[in-house]
Structure 1
Amino acid sequence: MVSRILCCTVVIGVGAIPAMGQTETTFAYQGELRSGGTPASGLFDLRFRLFREPVGGSQIGATLCVEDLSMSDGLFRAELDYGPGIFGTGMFLEIEARAGAGLDCSDSTGFVLLTPRQAITSAPNAIYALSAGTAGVAANATQFNSQPASFYQNAGNLTAGTLPGARLTGAYTGAVTMSNAGNAFSGSGAGLTGLNAANVSAGSLADARLSGNVALLNSVQTFTGAKSFTGGLATSALTLSTGAAAGRVLTSDGVGVGSWQPATGLTLPYSGSAANSINGVFNITNTTGPAIIGTGGSAQPGLTGYTSAANGYAVFGRSTATTGTGKGGWFQSFSTTGYGIHGNTTATSGVNRGVYGESASSSGRGVEGHASAAAGGSYGGRFESESPSGRGVMGYVSATSGTGIGVFGQTDSTDGYASFFIGGRNYFSGNVGLGVVSPERSLDTQGRIRLRQDNPPSGGNSAGIDFYQQTPGADRAFMGMFNDDQIGLYGRAGAGWAFVMDVATGNIGMGTTTPQARLDVNGTARCDVLEIMGADLAEKFPVSEETRPGLVMEIDPQNPGKLRVASGEYNRRVAGVVSGANGLPAGTIMGHLPGSQDSPAIALSGRVWVFCDATGAAIDAGDLLTTSSRPGHAMKVLDYPRAQGAAIGKAMTALPKGEVGFVLVLVNLQ
């Protein structure tokens, strides 16, 4: 084997200089190699790799290899050349060696890595660049970064620093930013072209610079001089100054308060009692906006109509268009608590109406309300009664035939409500249908009904149905939720929760609210026929040792009342077999007494799979079985006198001689 280098020396020497400007890069590596603890002799192949770190890191340069290097007393010398520019910081050589085997260095077979890596130290006259011999006494540099001195004397080539003001001359085609507020510009400004007036943010323009159409500017303006409008005046609002002569409709005091001129209001020319056409005394036509707008003061009407005639109309609105959605009257309120329309009758008797609507159309609406807001809890119509026996809304169909509807609600939203009731009670004297147009019972539904518990559940009422007896009037029973996981039937006359089903397990309890089986009865159960799907009659017995289904059990004489695994042939203490082996469940299990709930069920009669030992004799169907020397196992009875009182039952399946396994047994203890 080839071991690590014990002693090594690195010498970097100077060879012959082949030409000016080149650097000698070859150096000699001398070292000692031991093999098996003794100096190596003969021919060896060495491979060298260069790293900057003593451990790890990335390889520098190529892998150098010296083949068939002759060694005497372990000493060797190898010349290595990694080329120029490699050295300058600490370097380490990694060496691999193998005994000369006539293999090429490209074949890595047999090479052994020598550790640790060897540090390379420079010799006194190490690699020296002849072309830098005069660098220490040079007065100037003809080239710097491959550029002549003239390159660095041209300010256009500079990419950093600050130029003095004297160097800033000439034309600039690119954008130049002058961010110092102290910059001053002299001259006439004639050279400034493309200047946008929108960028002028301070100062004032002389009147001579203003356009003649200045009145169209989008800003509030005050004109101190007289203005003449020869082409008419079109404006969305006009405020007149104070002191206007009588006959002006409205003047202002300059701050928006305003006052009437004349002070007594405006009187139209017509006054009298002569009949007039349907167009009225005062006729204003506006095809795109309101004809009249009235504004009233606090708690005062904006528009008032008055009549003393018994059949007159204080206000009459009429829409004569025969198509479209014209309105005879339109009332609107912007207040968050206001009324779009408010009707009021002051008479305290009679069948008067606060608001009355009538339609003669077969598909018309006497009154229709519409809430156009896209959000919020607005009302298309709201009706209220303050009488303790009144009706907030009353729907009435006076026709005595047909399918008229007293109150009809409809919604086009899948999440909306055709009708919604809050608080109080809801009374229906006739049959109610849910999904049924012609209900035949008090409540006639189509599909499922969901009953929910109180929300929040702390309200105390669970989901369910109460059964009420009219005489005497009392709830007699409740069917519904017992708790979050159970539903059942509750008798209110003292029975309590007589029937409960666990919704998670499917267990049903009768007389118990904690059923532990599919049917858990606390009390006496009675039926005509009881059909059991299991195969044996078993009873739960406490045991004194660990057991499993199929083992034969015996009475434990040291622990009265307990059983243990049977042992010994023809054991007369045999008590039964642990039920449930080989996937065959028990039919009936007794002995579910306090303290025995988790005890194993021991088959006393019926079919059960039993562990059997046929090493002494084969077991055939019909053979009588008894205990064996193998604990918990049965065997074939060969000595019938000894089997008296020790028989387990008869085999129903066979077990070949020499085998140990399950046998189906008809248990019948004797």
Structure 2
Amino acid sequence: MKRFAMGCVMGLLMLASSAFAQAPVSTVFSYQGKLTDNGSPANGSYDIKAYLFDALAGGNQMAATTATVSVTDGLLNTELNFGAAFNGTALWLEIQVSPAGQNNFVTLTPRQPLNAAPFASYALNSYWTASGNAIQNTNTGFVGINRTSQVSGAEYFGIQAPATGTNYGGMYIRTDSATAKPFYGYTTGAETAWTYLDGNNGTFNVYNGGVRMTIENTGNVGIGETDPSAKLHIDNGSASSRALYATKTGSGIVTEFNVANGNSAMPLYAVTYGTGRAALFEAHTSNTTGAVHILKNNGPALQVTADVGFGSHDTTAAMSIVSNNDSELTTGGILVLGDVGGGNLAMDGNEIMARNNGAASTLYLNNEGGNTIISPLGHTIVSVLEITGGADFSEGFEVSGAIEPGMVVVIDPANPGELKPATSAYDRKVAGIVSGAGGVKPGMIMSQNGTLASGEHPVALTGRVYCWCDASTGAIEPGDLLTTSSTPGHAMKVSDHAAAQGAILGKAMTSLKAGEKGLVLVLVSLQ
């Protein structure tokens, strides 16, 4: 009785490329083994019957095939073809052997389990089709590597990398050439885009109708710029749209530029070499806050240098502007407020100029009221000084006793530098008239604070001023000389010219009927 034994190796048989290009991938796989006949290596021709079962023992026969092989020194190599029997179900191979033509088959035990190689044929034939040197997957559902579930319902291909902790896990696309461009693409059929690594220069690029973004291996990022020279380099070309647009709803900060303490870096640098603005800040009409709000804990919040290389900034000022630009009627100025084609104010290092379309204009200071102080410790020089808010020249005096505008005052011997209301006729100590009566204000008031030459009440020493007068000694007519009277704080017409020498206030410019008391406009001229 013959006894056969065999050790075997099975593998997927890859057909020649010419056949591969013309037909679907073959279901044939190679079968290699070592056959012994009664303990010795077999030689000669043998018939083989091969069966597929769905169990190691017993079970159902799923497919069968036969072959005649030539065996030398026990070695055999043949091809088995079970057709489309491989569908993913676990299968076992049973082999029966007989010397060729003797039909004396012996079953080899145990059955051999079929592993990866034949099932690769199943996978290829079930979900893949061949086209030339290409194969394509016909599966319309999710394809997962190391996972079966989708991250989202729109996912069709996914990888589950068995990475643990903080390790990397993923996939590479590698090219044969070190200077090639491995890419990953996207298309809808109508639109196509891709990302790629440029092996020639090490940049990572986003292509969408052109290279739209470039990331260098130095960390520089270019948007619209393939050779970025900064960490973020945006080139909008000649497009009229914005190169950078940052927006945010609600409150908070849209964009922040920050330099850490102790560093001298410049967080924002805006420059233009064309005809446009380097920066524009705009707050729409619906916004009641300022377009620009600059905060600084100390030192200048804003420094402007109009002429590079000229001068230096004041580091203690809230705003410092350095320029060598002189103000002229038609041009110039360090700071210009207003429309250069209309009324505007130009300022330079030592000048404030009011202009109107290239011509000199009126400069208004506190036009709606309020005091204006000019050079309190220096001199003020003018070509012509025109005062339109008052009509007399006054000095400030302290005045004792009850006093009101329009009253005549005389020198107070008891209080140096002070005055008091006049109480006697023809008083040669007469000093002037308290200004402000009748709605006529002093045009100029002089004093020196902190000395005897100062005081609260402006007393007219010259000019036009309303004065309280008593006409009980005679009617007052324009041109009459006026002097002090016995009525406190009142003037009267001079009737004794000899006694009036040194006691004359000035001349009446309006009249007052005999016996009346009232205000008379006086041209002050002490004599």
Distance, in Å, in 1 between the alignment partners of 2:180 and 2:430 is 114
What is aligned with 1:633? Answer: 490
Q: Indicate yes or no: 2:231 matched with 1:392.
A: yes
Q: How many angstroms does 1:583 deviate by?
A: 1.6
What is aligned with 1:517? Answer: 372
* 8 Å contact from structure 2 (residues 392, 463) kept in 1: yes
1:612-631 superposed matches below 5 A:
612-631=469-488
Identity of aligned residues (%): 28
Change (3 A) 1:465 1:506: farther
Q: How many angstroms does 1:541 deviate by?
A: 2.2
What is aligned with 1:527? Answer: 382
Which string of whole-angstrom CA distances, capped at 9 and with x for unpartnered residues, describes residues 197-244 of structure 1?
A: xxxxxxxxxxxxxxxxxxxxxxxxxxxxxxxxxxxxxxxxxxxxxxxx
What is aligned with 1:221? Answer: none
Distance, in Å, in 2 between the alignment partners of 1:555 and 1:567 is 11
The alignment partner of 2:297 has SS state of helix
The alignment partner of 2:233 has SS state of coil
Q: How many angstroms does 1:394 deviate by?
A: 2.6
Q: Indicate yes or no: 2:156 matched with 1:291.
A: yes
What is aligned with 2:243? Answer: 408
Distance, in Å, in 1 between the alignment partners of 2:521 and 2:118 is 118
Change (3 A) 1:506 1:404: same
1:373-384 superposed matches below 5 A:
none
Which string of whole-angstrom CA distances, capped at 9 and with x for unpartnered residues, describes residues 28-54 of structure 1?
A: xxxxxxxxxxxxxxxxxxxxxxxxxxx
* 8 Å contact from structure 1 (residues 589, 601) kept in 2: yes
Q: How many angstroms does 1:556 deviate by?
A: 0.9
The alignment partner of 1:656 has SS state of coil
Structure 1 or 2: larger strand share? 2
What is aligned with 1:114? Answer: none
The RMSD of aligned alpha carbons is: 5.2
What is aligned with 1:89? Answer: none
Q: Indicate yes or no: 2:207 matched with 1:351.
A: no
Code of the residue aligned with 1:392 in structure 2: it is K
Q: How many residues align?
A: 342
Distance, in Å, in 2 between the alignment partners of 1:313 and 1:430 is 36
Q: How many angstroms does 1:644 deviate by?
A: 1.4
Superposition TM-score, scaled by structure 1 size: 0.42
1:438-477 superposed matches below 5 A:
438-439=275-276, 454-455=294-295, 457-463=296-302, 465=304, 470=309, 474-475=312-313
Code of the residue aligned with 1:296 in structure 2: it is A
Q: Indicate yes or no: 2:159 matched with 1:309.
A: no
Distance, in Å, in 2 between the alignment partners of 1:554 and 1:468 is 61
Q: How many angstroms does 1:283 deviate by?
A: 3.7
Distance, in Å, in 2 between the alignment partners of 1:407 and 1:383 is 24
Change (3 A) 1:478 1:300: closer
Code of the residue aligned with 1:632 in structure 2: it is G
Which residue of the other structure, out of 416, 419, 430, is the alignment partner of 2:272? 430
Q: How many angstroms does 1:264 deviate by?
A: 9.1
* 8 Å contact from structure 1 (residues 465, 480) kept in 2: no
The alignment partner of 2:398 has SS state of coil
Q: How many angstroms does 1:303 deviate by?
A: 5.5
Q: Indicate yes or no: 2:410 matched with 1:554.
A: yes
Q: How many angstroms does 1:552 deviate by?
A: 0.3
What is aligned with 1:321? Answer: 189
What is aligned with 2:442? Answer: 586
* 8 Å contact from structure 1 (residues 552, 565) kept in 2: yes
Which string of whole-angstrom CA distances, capped at 9 and with x for unpartnered residues, describes residues 163-200 of structure 1?
A: xxxxxxxxxxxxxxxxxxxxxxxxxxxxxxxxxxxxxx
Distance, in Å, in 2 between the alignment partners of 1:305 and 1:476 is 58
* 8 Å contact from structure 2 (residues 510, 520) kept in 1: yes
1:559-574 superposed matches below 5 A:
559-574=415-430
Which string of whole-angstrom CA distances, capped at 9 and with x for unpartnered residues, describes residues 544-576 of structure 1?
A: 334221110001112222211111111111111
Change (3 A) 1:480 1:610: farther
Change (3 A) 1:344 1:328: closer
Which residue of the other structure, out of 493, 514, 525, is the alignment partner of 1:657? 514
1:54-73 superposed matches below 5 A:
none
Q: How many angstroms does 1:407 deviate by?
A: 7.9
Q: How many angstroms does 1:411 deviate by?
A: 5.6
Q: Unaligned stretches of 5+ in structure 2? A: 1-87, 91-113, 143-152, 221-227, 259-265, 285-289, 321-333, 336-348, 353-363
The alignment partner of 2:187 has SS state of coil
Distance, in Å, in 2 between the alignment partners of 1:549 and 1:384 is 86
Code of the residue aligned with 1:572 in structure 2: it is R
Superposition TM-score, scaled by structure 2 size: 0.51
Q: How many angstroms does 1:632 deviate by?
A: 0.5
* 8 Å contact from structure 1 (residues 466, 479) kept in 2: no
1:121-136 superposed matches below 5 A:
none
Q: How many angstroms does 1:662 deviate by?
A: 0.9
Q: How many angstroms does 1:633 deviate by?
A: 0.5
Distance, in Å, in 1 between the alignment partners of 2:430 and 2:473 is 20
Distance, in Å, in 1 between the alignment partners of 2:118 and 2:447 is 108
* 8 Å contact from structure 1 (residues 453, 462) kept in 2: no
Change (3 A) 1:295 1:314: farther
Distance, in Å, in 2 between the alignment partners of 1:266 and 1:663 is 131
The structure showing larger relative contact order (alpha-carbon pairs under 8 Å, at least 6 residues apart) is 2
Which residue of the other structure, out of 599, 624, 630, is the alignment partner of 2:456? 599
Code of the residue aligned with 1:527 in structure 2: it is V
Which string of whole-angstrom CA distances, capped at 9 and with x for unpartnered residues, describes residues 139-167 of structure 1?
A: xxxxxxxxxxxxxxxxxxxxxxxxxxxxx
Q: Unaligned stretches of 5+ in structure 1? A: 1-245, 249-261, 330-340, 369-381, 433-437, 483-488, 491-496, 509-514
The alignment partner of 1:666 has SS state of strand
Distance, in Å, in 2 between the alignment partners of 1:351 and 1:365 is 15
Q: How many angstroms does 1:667 deviate by?
A: 0.7
* 8 Å contact from structure 2 (residues 202, 216) kept in 1: no
Change (3 A) 1:611 1:622: same
Q: How many angstroms does 1:581 deviate by?
A: 1.5
1:70-89 superposed matches below 5 A:
none
